[in-house]
Amino acid sequence: MTKPVKKKPSNSRFVGAILLVAVVGVAVLGYALSRPRAGVKPVDPSLAAGTAEGYLVGNADAPVQVIEFGDFECPACGQWATLTEPDVRERLINTGLVSFRFYDFPLDMHKNTWPASNAVACAADQGKFLDMHDRVFATQDRWNGEATNNPKKVFLQLAAESGIDTAKWEDCFDSQQHYPRIKANLQEGVRRGIGQTPTFIIGTKMIPGNIPFDEFRKYVDAAAAEAAQAAKATPSKP
Amino acid sequence: MTRRMLVAVLALGGVFLAAYLTLYHYGYVGSLACGTGGCEKVQGSSWANFLGVPVALWGTGYYMSVFAVATAGSLGPWVERRWPSGALVFLNGWGVLFSAYLTWAEVARIHAICRYCVVSAGLVVVLFSLSLLDLRDYRRAPQ
């Protein structure tokens, strides 16, 4: 009986497999790199941007400055606004520790997010920013791109429930007078390298994602400590 | 193809997967998104860095090391040697432990699962299993 001969493995097949994986890998990475980075597009590219201006909640001079870049149609932003933000307002903003600013960051994946930002901006003109902000986030499933092609009907109802002068609000909404500001807020986010919504800037840290209250609090405490240290280091005027 | 060769081919696939995640981490690929996706959440969490270096970059280094050892052990003068098998078991053993730690962090701490990380964890388990079988094949070979 002859001894079975151990077949020498084929080097050419191995080299071929390596080359195949390398070519596919380079092609996939090259494709990913060549795709446009930002998925943000303004409604009207020719629209001139206004001045970026977030909506202020709380005391502007509070020791910790927080900025949120949010999209009204983003479910993660909606979750944060309805589940976490009430605690943040009660325990951090209303106590004077945090100054909070909301900047619109409408993503192109959401069909009705620009009208939503517009609806809130028009409510803010009548001093009802927070009220409308909360209602719009809480009712995403009634006006989002999957629910309707005419979100204005829902926004008008929300405005009426907020006690807003609906005639004035409608004039404002239809004129789209706040679109330059929304675009400016969006551009401010792009300039700061925002990659997703919601994203929070707490003191000197940028934190993306729907973070729970405890984590938010941790960043606020760290920013407050930093601010206190900076104040100590600054020599007081004689 | 020997098991060692298979390890090299799979590890090269891992190099590209980890390189993609590294580019994603630094913002060179991927699109802006609403933060419901697991990968955005995982990559944006504090767990995305280990000892100050992005986990994806650690992964790229790991896969490159496995690829280098497996290729050297398949084509070079070490084809008949056992040490590449031992080195692969060592590297991939660490890979399995690190992947287990990251998967635990995703489930228990971040509460989000990134599909690319799941693919990578599966790949690491396959690489480790193949390395063990390779070591068994070479148990009588000279060091």
Torsions phi, psi for A56 (to 5 deg): -85, 130
Kindly state whether residue B10 falls inside one of the protein's structural domains. Answer: yes
**Rounded mean pLDDT of B55-79?**
91
The verdict on A212 touching B (C-beta cutoff 8 Å) is: no
Task: Specify the 3-state DSSP secondary structure of A68.
Answer: strand
Does A7 score more than 60 pLDDT? no
Kindly state whether residue A104 falls inside one of the protein's structural domains. Answer: yes
Least confident of A139-153, A185-199, B59-73: A185-199
Contact B34 A25 (CB under 8 A): no
Q: What value does the mean pLDDT of chain B take?
A: 85
The verdict on A16 touching B (C-beta cutoff 8 Å) is: no
Least confident of A121-125, B1-5, B25-29, B35-39: B35-39
Least confident of A12-26, A93-107, A119-133, B40-54: B40-54
Number of domains in chain A: 1
What are the tens digits of pLDDT across the range A21-79? 999 999 988 887 776 544 333 345 555 666 778 899 999 999 999 999 999 998 889 98
Contact B19 A209 (CB under 8 A): no
Q: How far is A211 from chain B (nearest CA, A)?
A: 9
The verdict on A131 touching B (C-beta cutoff 8 Å) is: no
Least confident of A135-144, B48-57, B66-75: B48-57
Q: How far is B121 from chain A (nearest CA, A)?
A: 18
Kindly state whether residue B52 falls inside one of the protein's structural domains. Answer: yes
pLDDT value at position A40?
36
Contact A37 B33 (CB under 8 A): no
Contact A14 B32 (CB under 8 A): no
Helix (H) or strand (E) holding A55: strand A55-57
> Can you give the pTM of this predicted structure?
0.59
Kindly state whether residue A175 falls inside one of the protein's structural domains. Answer: yes
From chain B, pick out residues whose CB is under 8 angstroms from the CB of A205.
none
Kindly state whether residue A164 falls inside one of the protein's structural domains. Answer: yes
Contact B19 A75 (CB under 8 A): no
Band (B37; pLDDT cuts 50, 70, 90): low
Alpha-carbon separation of residue A185 from A101, A106, A127, A189 (angstroms)? 11, 9, 19, 6
Kindly state whether residue B120 falls inside one of the protein's structural domains. Answer: yes
Q: A41: nearest CA in chain B?
A: B32
Closest CA to B63 of B127, B118, B131: B127
pLDDT value at position A51?
72
Separation CA A47–CA A40 (nearest Å):
14
State the CATH number of the domain containing residue A80.
3.40.30.10
Band (A4; pLDDT cuts 50, 70, 90): very low
Contact B33 A39 (CB under 8 A): yes
Domain around B17: 3-137
Contact B35 A33 (CB under 8 A): no
**Rounded mean pLDDT of B18-42?**
71
Q: Quick one: CA torsion of A189, A196, A174, A140, rounded to 10 degrees?
A: -150
- Name the residue facing B16 among A29, A74, A198 (closest C-beta): A29
Kindly state whether residue A2 falls inside one of the protein's structural domains. Answer: no
Contact A25 B16 (CB under 8 A): yes
Domain around A203: 55-227
Number of domains in chain B: 1
The verdict on A234 touching B (C-beta cutoff 8 Å) is: no
State the CATH number of the domain containing residue B10.
1.20.1440.130
pLDDT value at position B38?
65
What are the tens digits of pLDDT across the range A75-111? 889 989 999 999 999 999 999 999 999 999 998 878 8
Band (B124; pLDDT cuts 50, 70, 90): very high
Crossing angle for the helix pair B115-137 and B83-104, to the nearest 10 degrees: 150
Kindly state whether residue B50 falls inside one of the protein's structural domains. Answer: yes
Does B110 score more than 80 pLDDT? no
Q: B28: nearest CA in chain A?
A: A33
Separation CA A142–CA A150 (nearest Å):
10
What are the tens digits of pLDDT across the range A139-173? 998 998 888 999 999 999 999 999 999 999 999 99
pLDDT value at position A236?
56
From chain A, pick out residues whose CB is under 8 angstroms from the CB of B41.
209-210
Q: How far is A196 from chain B (nearest CA, A)?
A: 5
- Token pair recorded at residue B22: 């590294």
